Amino acid sequence: MKKKIFISIILVIGIGVFLRLVITPKSKGPEKNEDIIWKMLSSAKLGNTQQYLDCFTGKSLRTLQKANQEKGETDFRDYIQQNAQAIKGVSIINKEQKNSLKTVFDVEIVYADRNEYQTFSLQKAQEGWKINEISKSVITKQPIPYMETVVKEE
């Protein structure tokens, strides 16, 4: 009798695991186009050079690959990582959906002493969205550095 109960429990657990694997979706849904910008920032912060480069395509990718080659893997990784770790905040706003394969985002990155505004052009590739072009930064110096006390305490 105990053996039958044991086998029944094992079967129920096995069927439950099987159904969970079959019913659970394989992905969390369609990729949003701005996710590639977050992935690029996250990869840079972690110092994952290859994952960072995988976020780009076209001329931007070629320029970054050249910089990686010229600086060397370690210096390039340190550069992107230090830059990303200095970020205090990010704002991403969809500026223009050109078509189903191209879109443009306004991105503002907040650092302790400045804000940098850039336009990111994204292109849909076979493996998902990629950053095709980034405009030159427009830098705004902050009169009061980020998180600095505005009023002096007495």
Rounded to 5 degrees, what angle do the CA atoms 96, 98, 104 make? 40
Q: CA distances (Å), 5 to each of 8, 9, 16, in order?
A: 5, 6, 16
Length of the chain: 154
Query: Is 3 part of a structural domain of the chain?
Result: no
Contact partners, residue 18, CB within 8 Å, separation at least 6? none
15 found inside a domain: no
C-alpha to C-alpha distance for 120 and 55, rounded to whole angstroms: 12
Among 16, 49, 44, 27, residue whose Cα is nearest residue 128: 27
Closest to 39 in 3D by CA, of 61, 27, 55, 63: 55
Residue 110 forms beta bridges with which residues? 89, 115
Q: Residue 148 falls within a domain, yes or no?
A: no
Answer whether residue 44 is part of any domain: yes
pLDDT tops 50 at residue 27:
no
**45 assigned to some structural domain:** yes
Q: What is residue 52's three-state secondary structure?
A: helix
Q: What residue type is 142 in one-letter code?
A: Q
**CATH number assigned to the domain comprising residue 135:** 3.10.450.630
pLDDT for residue 25: 46
> How many domains are contained in the chain?
1
Q: What is the pLDDT of residue 50?
A: 95
**What pLDDT band is residue 82 in, cutting at 50, 70 and 90?**
very high
Region 24-50 average pLDDT:
80
Asked if residue 23 belongs to a domain, the reply is: no
Are the C-beta atoms of 89 and 110 separated by less than 8 Å? Answer: yes
- State which residues form the domain around 78: 31-141
In a domain, 13, yes or no: no
Q: 94-139, pLDDT tens digit by residue?
A: 887 778 889 999 999 999 899 999 999 999 988 899 999 999 999 9
Which residues have CB under 8 Å from 15's CB, separation 6+? none
